[in-house]
Structures are given as C-alpha cells and as structure tokens.
A and B are shown apart, each in its own frame.
Chain A
C-alpha cells in the first residue's frame, strides 16, 4: 500500500489567495483526519470524517477553513482567504475503524503564506 498521499508537499502563496490541500487516505480506511502542526501549538486536530461524513470540526480555526470528502479516496482542506498565521505543516491521517485504532499519517504539506 502506498500509504496516505498528500499534495502538494510544499506551497508558497500570498496573503489573500485560496489554498487547497489534498489527501488520499489508505484504501479501505473509513476515518480521515486533518491536523495542523505549528511551533506554538504543536499538533492539533482540525477535523475528521467517518465514511466521508464530517464528524467533528471543532478544531477548525475559523470560517476561512473548510474541508470536504466527496468520496472514500479523496479529501480537501481549503483556506480562503489565506493569512500569514496559517503558515504551518498540514497533515492528513487515516485509520481503519474507530478512534481506538492506529492512525497513519501522510508526509504533510508545508504551507507558507507571505
């Protein structure tokens, strides 16, 4: 299995631009998670899906952030408009089964907003 796939790996954009991050979970996994890692806040959960349905989005920082999962093999995290404080590494993870199972992380997208 290829593992969790994320794209792009690096993104540099200017403040105000729309940013779309993409994730392909491990085939057969029914949970998908989006995390953000910063020096100040560490690793924090933004949102997670079960069978393509958003379950908990309480970690999404504000309305500028949105996430979708149109099918079992694809999810997007969108920031519109982007701000410099959104600069971080964004990870996607997936797992088989409920929250008592191992989560497998993708390589992350390093986002820099100028």
Chain B
C-alpha cells in the first residue's frame, strides 16, 4: 500500500515563528488532506489539496502531485497552533484514506 511520511516528527517553536511541515507519499493520489489534532484530540480539517496551492489565513498548503509531496506552511505561529498535524492520502485506485504518523508542533509563548 501507499506509504506516507511526514517530517519533522517534532517541532518546537516560539510564538510568532513560521514553520513548514512536509508530507511525502509513495504513489499517485487523488485525495490529500491536512488535519490538525488539537490537544483535546479533535481532528480538524485544514485543507483538501490533492494538487495546487490553497491559503486560509495564516495557513497555506501546496501539493506537487507529480513529485509526490505536500507542504503545510504556518506563519506567525500562535500557541493555539500547537498539536499534531496529519497528512492523509487516498492513492489512485484505492479506497482508503491513509494517514501519516504526524508532526507534533509545540508553540511556546
């Protein structure tokens, strides 16, 4: 099955810093989503982005499908951005959303 690798596994930053999270996948995909799991465990959709670039406030994402990676950018980090960020994909011809292991982001005040 498809492999999804996220990096870095952990990231600790000061409030106000910018960050880039990466998701590599091993096969062509027709669905890619970024989620934020907050400290209370809630999984929140950030982006549905199988290709191209999207922006939502301080967050933006880019997926380069031909090179099999996606990037999540967080600018001017806030403490509320802390949590685990997951990338999840559905490979072409498959039926399951496969999650990476996540990047744990800690924003210190």
Contacts and interface: CB of A to CB of B under 8 A. Distances in A.
B99 A42 contact: yes
Contacts of B101: 42
Interface in A1-53: 33, 42-45, 48
B33 A103 contact: yes
B93 to A, nearest CB: 10
Interface stretch (A69-77, A79-87, A104-112): A104-112
A67 interface: no
Q: Is the interface of B mostly helix, strand, loop or mixed?
A: strand
Interface string A89-114: 10100000001111111011010000
Most buried by B among A56, A104, A105: A105
30 contacts: A42-B99, A42-B101, A42-B102, A43-B86, A43-B88, A43-B99, A45-B96, A48-B95, A55-B95, A89-B41, A99-B30, A99-B31, A99-B97, A100-B30, A100-B31, A100-B90, A101-B48, A102-B33, A102-B45, A102-B48, A103-B45, A103-B97, A105-B43, A105-B45, A107-B41, A107-B42, A108-B41, A108-B42, A108-B43, A110-B41
Interface of A: 33, 42-45, 48, 55-56, 59, 89, 91, 99-105, 107-108, 110
